Amino acid sequence: MSLQLPEAFEQKMRELLEEEFEAFMESYEQPKWQGLRVNRLKLEACDFQRMSPFSLTAIPWCAEGFYYADGERPGKHPFYHAGLYYIQEPSAMTPVEMLDVRPGHKVLDLCAAPGGKSTQIAAKLAGSGVLVSNDLHPERVKALVKNIEMAGVRNAVVLNEHPARIADSFGAYFDRILVDAPCSGEGMFRKDEDMVKHWSPQRVCDYAGMQEEILEAAAALLKPGGKLVYSTCTFSPEENEAMIASFLGQHPQFEVVPLSPTHGFQSGRPAWVTEKQTDQAEHGEQVGHAEHGEQAEQVGQAGQVSEPSEETGARQEAARLETAGTLRLWPHLVEGEGHYVALLQKMPDAQSIEQANTEVRTASVDSSYGTDRSGKDHGKGQGRPRKQEIRPLDTEERERWHAFASSVLDQTKTAESIGQTDKPLISWKQFVYECPVSPLLLSGLKAPRPGFFVGELKKQRFEPSQALAMGLRPEEVQQVISLDMADERVIKYLKGETIDISDFPHIQKGYGLICLGPYPLGWGKSMQGMLKNAYPAGWRWQ
């Protein structure tokens, strides 16, 4: 086997898997599975299948998911630039499939970058409701922003925050929460050899600490009756069943919603939650990280650990058994990499522990991320991120927006629907967003995208964003230049070149939406039969 696995990992898996160990190890000899997920904000899976140049095979657990063949490069295709699909590892499509997202829901994706699952959630919301996508790491947030914009999502806010700070601001606001936790990544060893290099038993413990903190915030952010999916791409019981058992032990208002082990998935393994781990959870010393809440209360003043009560012991045991309703995806049993998924529900009658912060504060965001049309980061090169007010557009700014909307968009279809009372147009510096939540909720939070990025206020005019182009349908725009797949101008446009559009005589001076068939690629400005390219530098065909 060319892949050299850490000895301690191999030994641990041998002990856990017993007679299944050989089959598990043989999976490392097999090629990794590659998948893409069709973006239903743009088209139906069956329509994509008809026009796809790739050899697609359905992924059984995701109606929009397909395997593609080795050697194919869907990331290097104009369809990719049109946001028609997202390249996603097949097993990674499972957590959102289990989250039961419906249009109108308020959904939080707490560990979202680079955005595979956020774009999957957005497709399930179908433009109605709210998606808040968060990630702690600023560099990864840039990719998250781009992927959400490329998918044409219009109802998302992107945050770059500690989950506890989001909980302070939003309280129990969300119907659905995804915690796709940072983890030791054992399930990705076949796909990403870097994960192998960085693995160690200590890192498993470190990740367990992070996961517990993230789950604690998620618990406060979920509405009573709401559902939460916790997922990892690792095998270690400490980060999976033991994490869920410990969480349930401390949060009696939550229960596991059992998931069916179909498609070759396996049930969670309560037997792998060892007495040692249960004791650690009960006594508030989850391996390698800080104590929290109820656990910490059990540690006496002199640091002595008190015996858990009979009731606590029974609760821990019940919690351990509940993990049989969670799912494991094994690379030797499914056509995908290793994953773990648990679906939890907050009891409908649970008291909302955290109330939404109703204080009226000056809304402000801290932004140094994301790109404008020139490919520059918002706020980049201006020193450290600065705080500035989010505010509604003033009358003169609104006029600039309306002048743009009435000359470029089809007002009957769009100008009416952008910036209405439930989603006000707000500005941060010169950038304009349609905000799908009350801007007060974003007060003091780092929000690289406090909503759908519509464009920029420039001197005396409004310049539309790439995000707006990707979020529109051609019928919402007055001037559309629709090119066929075979047209060499498609690649030229994606490379940022000026293109000749003299064969579109009806196109007048001004903004036009360049489309690949009916799917937007970006803006251009036409003048005398030529189209000046407005495709952002960071998005261009390489």
Ligand X SMILES: C[S@@+](CC[C@H](N)C(=O)[O-])C[C@H]1O[C@@H](n2cnc3c(N)ncnc32)[C@H](O)[C@@H]1O
* Ligand-binding site membership of 342 (annotated): no
Q: Is 116 in the site for ligand X (CB under 6 A)?
A: yes
Residue selected from 14, 102, 140, 332 as contacting ligand X according to rule CB under 6 A: 140
Nearest CA to 264 among 335, 194, 210?
Answer: 335
* Ligand-binding site membership of 135 (annotated): yes
Nearer to ligand X, 187 or 308 (CB): 187
Interacting span for ligand X (CB under 6 A) from 132-140, 376-384, 385-393, 434-442:
132-140
Question: For residue 26, what are its two tokens?
Answer: 């043989």
Q: Does 237 sit behind a cis peptide bond, omega within 30 degrees of 0 on the bond before it?
A: no
Q: Is 432 in the site for ligand X (CB under 6 A)?
A: no
Q: Is 110 in the site for ligand X (CB under 6 A)?
A: yes
Per-residue contact flags (x/-) with ligand X for residues 156 to 195, judged by CB under 6 A: -------x----------------x-x-------------
Longest CA–CA span in the chain (Å) reads 84
Q: Which 287-326 residues touch ligand X, going by CB under 6 A?
A: none
* Ligand-binding site membership of 111 (annotated): yes
Q: Is 268 in the site for ligand X (CB under 6 A)?
A: no
Interacting span for ligand X (CB under 6 A) from 11-19, 105-113, 270-278, 464-472:
105-113
Q: Is 97 in the site for ligand X (CB under 6 A)?
A: no
List strands edge to edge, sheet with 364-366. 364-366, 387-392, 425-428, 431-434, 452-458, 461-464
Q: Kindly list the distances between the CA atom of residue 473 and the CA atoms of 40, 48, 479, 540, in Å, as whole numbers in the listed order.
A: 13, 17, 12, 21
* Ligand-binding site membership of 372 (annotated): no
Residue selected from 115, 439, 522, 536 as contacting ligand X according to rule CB under 6 A: 115
- The pair phi, psi for residue 48, each rounded to 5°, is -65, -40
* Ligand-binding site membership of 522 (annotated): no
Q: Is 117 in the site for ligand X (CB under 6 A)?
A: yes
Residue selected from 13, 112, 167, 442 as contacting ligand X according to rule CB under 6 A: 112
Q: Is 114 in the site for ligand X (CB under 6 A)?
A: yes
* Ligand-binding site membership of 116 (annotated): yes
User: Is 62 an active-site residue?
Assistant: no
By the 8 A CB rule, do 147 and 81 touch? no
* Residue 73: Cβ-neighbour burial (10 angstroms; 0-12, 13-18, 19+): exposed
Nearer to ligand X, 246 or 316 (CB): 246
Q: Which helix (H) or strand (E) holds 452?
A: strand 452-458
Interacting span for ligand X (CB under 6 A) from 106-114, 376-384, 453-461, 479-487:
106-114
By the 8 A CB rule, do 403 and 486 touch? no
Nearer to ligand X, 144 or 333 (CB): 144
Interacting span for ligand X (CB under 6 A) from 48-56, 114-122, 359-367, 387-395:
114-122
Interacting span for ligand X (CB under 6 A) from 68-76, 113-121, 384-392, 452-460:
113-121
- The pair phi, psi for residue 49, each rounded to 5°, is -55, -40
Nearer to ligand X, 115 or 448 (CB): 115
Per-position b or e across 76-88, b if 16+ CB within 10 A of its CB = ebbbbbbbbbbeb
Nearest CA to 166 among 124, 104, 219?
Answer: 219
By the 8 A CB rule, do 539 and 81 touch? yes
* Ligand-binding site membership of 117 (annotated): yes
Catalytic hit among 183, 233, 435, 515: 233
| Cα 296 from Cα 350, distance rounded (Å) | 22
Residues making up the annotated binding site are 111-117, 135, 180
Tell me the catalytic residues.
233
Q: Give me the residues that bind ligand X (CB under 6 A), please.
A: 92, 110-117, 134-137, 140, 163, 180, 182, 210, 214
Known binding-site positions for S-adenosyl-L-methionine: 111-117, 135, 180
